[in-house]
Copies of this chain bind each other. A is one copy, B any other.
Amino acid sequence: MNLKGVNLGNWLVLEKWMSPALFEGTTAEDEYYLPRQLSKEVYKARIGIHRAEYITERDFVAIRAMGMEAVRIPVPYFIFGDRAPFIGCVKELDKAFCWAERYGLEILIDLHTAPMGQNGFDNGGICGVCKWSQCPEEVEFVLTVLERLAERYGNREALWGIEVLNEPITKGAWKMMDVPNRYPAVDQEMAEGSAPNTLAFLRKFYEKAYERIRKFLPEEKYVVIHDGFELTAWKDFMREEKYKNVVLDTHQYLMMAEANGCGQTVEEYKAYIKEHYEKEIEEMQKYFPVICGEWCLFNSKACGHDTKGGQSVLNGVKGTDAQILTSEGKREIYRDVAEAQLAAWEKGSGYFYWSYKLLTDTVNDPGWTGWDSWDFGRCIDFGWFPSEKNDRKGGA
């Protein structure tokens, strides 16, 4: 198995940098505060149009035409509409299954957020709050969401699998990402006590989640667990016969490699990819099918300046407007790091690019030069991504 896929990020789980218009006129930095700062009517109108327009049938057609086989769809814990003031989005996921089945794509449902936060990232739903695993009733709630997803979609032809939780953070990443400072909490009282999840907790949660969803999920559908940013920590996990088709998901971004000390040259990126991504995936593939569920071509070298581990104007870090590199220069860097990363993912069982689409405007909004490489569609169109379609080159 070497599954080629893209994430449908920012469709059903929002990230401000990917569609700033949704957050206009508010100080909200994450999805938690959006319905709390907008009137009910305006929130409903914004989110309704966004969900109806951001991803549609035509995107499934395009993704298939780009040579992809699958989509990973991040969904929020409030997908079933039972967590006011949020508005559910299960009808959108229903439509996605019909599109996928028409056009021959598979779907990995990815529960991307948990109430009270599983990582404190903006994309976890609430900045600076990471207390979900300390709230037993919210852990149970998440399990019921997973059960309902498994029951509703378990027998759908397009279902590839369900990922039980995206990026539950553990100690090392919590420290390296410097979560409390990079993602400051709005409500200090709410954030108080935030801490990384323990591996012991995650193991228990994954086992419970497996049991709760496998009863609805035919054996051939995958149950996907995220590595908690500790790829090699899972060798002795779920070795028992009863666990079938469990996939280990690891997320690897070059900006994190940079934050880990990788130098900002193509040679050093390639060496890091070989030494870390490739070696560790190869090692872990002995235990689980391993996918790289999130990655992209973004790196500081191609931006033309140090992004300090992928920090942007949203983090108060100055970006650049200048086109420092030529089109050819950028293409060369991106194709090199793409090939190196794709070679690493081939040691495992597949990948999902982050992300299929984003609306970040590198022309009209200051400071975003280089951030278009997060957008798979633009990577294909610019000829940055080595694909069957790499003749489709734009004028970047």
| C-alpha spacing A341/B103, complex, angstroms | 28
Interface size class of A (residues with CB under 8 A): 35 or more
The verdict on A39 contacting chain B, using a C-beta distance below 8 Å, is: yes
B residues near A362, Cβ cutoff 8 Å: 57
Number of copies of this protein chain within its complex: 2
B residues near A21, Cβ cutoff 8 Å: 48-49, 52-53
Minimum distance in angstroms from A368 CB to a CB of chain B: 10
Q: Verify A363–B45 contact, CB threshold 8 A.
A: no
The verdict on A381 contacting chain B, using a C-beta distance below 8 Å, is: yes
Q: Verify B61–A382 contact, CB threshold 8 A.
A: yes
| C-alpha spacing A102/B251, complex, angstroms | 33
Interface 1/0 per residue, A148-182 and B, CB below 8 Å: 00000000000000000000000000000000000
Q: Which of A112-120, A229-237, A386-394 sits within the interface?
A: A386-394
The verdict on A395 contacting chain B, using a C-beta distance below 8 Å, is: yes
| C-alpha spacing A53/B49, complex, angstroms | 9
Given known contacts A45-B42, A45-B45, A363-B98, A396 and B53 CB-to-CB distance under 8 angstroms: no
Residue of B nearest to A47 (CB): B49
Within A46-89, which residues are at the interface with B (CB < 8 Å)? 46, 48-50, 52-54, 56-58, 61-62, 64-66
Interface residue from B359, B375, B394 paired with A53 (Cβ < 8 Å)? B359
The verdict on A304 contacting chain B, using a C-beta distance below 8 Å, is: no
Q: Verify A395–B104 contact, CB threshold 8 A.
A: yes
Q: Verify A22–B49 contact, CB threshold 8 A.
A: yes
Given known contacts A65-B392, A363-B99, A381-B65, A375 and B50 CB-to-CB distance under 8 angstroms: no
The verdict on A208 contacting chain B, using a C-beta distance below 8 Å, is: no
Interface 1/0 per residue, A4-29 and B, CB below 8 Å: 00000000000000011110100000
| C-alpha spacing A240/B322, complex, angstroms | 47
The listed residue with most B CB atoms (<10 A of its CB), out of A22, A49, A361, A364, is A49
The verdict on A41 contacting chain B, using a C-beta distance below 8 Å, is: yes
Residue of B nearest to A395 (CB): B104
The verdict on A378 contacting chain B, using a C-beta distance below 8 Å, is: yes
The verdict on A319 contacting chain B, using a C-beta distance below 8 Å, is: no
Q: Verify B95–A381 contact, CB threshold 8 A.
A: no
Interface residue from B41, B54, B391 paired with A41 (Cβ < 8 Å)? B41
Q: Verify B378–A58 contact, CB threshold 8 A.
A: yes
The verdict on A357 contacting chain B, using a C-beta distance below 8 Å, is: yes
Minimum distance in angstroms from A382 CB to a CB of chain B: 7
The verdict on A377 contacting chain B, using a C-beta distance below 8 Å, is: yes
Q: 12 extra interchain contacts, Cβ-Cβ under 8 A, other than A46-B49, A57-B360?
A: A21-B53, A22-B49, A42-B45, A45-B49, A49-B53, A56-B359, A62-B377, A65-B380, A95-B361, A103-B394, A389-B391, A392-B392
List 3 tightest A-B contacts by C-beta distance, closest first: A21-B52, A45-B45, A65-B381
**A–B Cβ pairs within 8 angstroms, 15 of them:** A24-B48, A41-B42, A46-B46, A46-B48, A49-B49, A57-B359, A57-B361, A57-B372, A61-B377, A61-B396, A95-B361, A103-B394, A103-B395, A103-B396, A389-B389
Q: Which residues of A contact B (CB under 8 A)?
A: 19-22, 24, 39, 41-42, 44-46, 48-50, 52-54, 56-58, 61-62, 64-66, 95, 98-99, 102-104, 357-364, 372, 375, 377-378, 380-382, 388-389, 391-396
